[in-house]
Amino acid sequence: MKFLICYDDTAEAKKALKVAQEHAKIWQAELEVVYAITRVEPLKHAKVKKMEEKMEGAVKEILTEDDPPYEVQLLLTDLTPGELLIKYAEEQNIDQIFLGIEKTSKVGKFLFGSTAQYVILHAPCPVVTVR
């Protein structure tokens, strides 16, 4: 089994990672921790490397050696984060997606969109949302 954790270094994402960690232990699943970024302009390699190192460090603080196996991925593309996460889930045959969410008003979702909303509506597998 494979679980996808949508990670962006927020408190909600960290909670989702902890919940996924507990589920993965029970189901003996692998964890795919993914940070999806929409690239509008070219990014320098040094900046991308720094982002990867920061993300790996944050994930290592939560997950320990006796936890289920995991991989950390930083995905850069011109797709929206929601589209990229769905595409990744389909390509990697993900069995369940874990997503940290924060409460957003209807106007906020209308103006800025919602990655969580897109993932929930288009996911090819069950989605667990964590507040």
Lowest mean pLDDT among 26-35, 44-53, 116-125: 44-53
> Taking all residues of the chain, what is their mean pLDDT, rounded to a whole number?
88
User: What local confidence, expressed as pLDDT, does residue 78 receive?
Assistant: 87
Helices (H) and strands (E) in the chain, counts: 5, 5
What's the alpha-carbon Rg for the chain, to the nearest Å?
Answer: 14
Within 10 A of 67 (CB to CB), how many other CB atoms are there?
13
User: What local confidence, expressed as pLDDT, does residue 113 receive?
Assistant: 58
Between 12 and 107, the more confident residue is 12
Sequence length of the chain is 131
CA distance 11 to 106: 22
What one-letter code names the amino acid at 8? D
Q: What is the 3-state secondary structure (H, E, C) of 40-73?
A: CCCCCHHHHHHHHHHHHHHHHHHCCCCCCCEEEE
Domain definitions of the chain by residue range: 2-130
User: What local confidence, expressed as pLDDT, does residue 117 receive?
Assistant: 87
Between 110 and 12, the more confident residue is 12
Residue in this structure with the two tokens 């909670």, named with its chain if needed: 15
Write down the architecture of domain 2-130 according to CATH.
Answer: 3-Layer(aba) Sandwich (3.40)
CB 19 within 8 A of CB 96: no
pTM for the full predicted model:
0.88
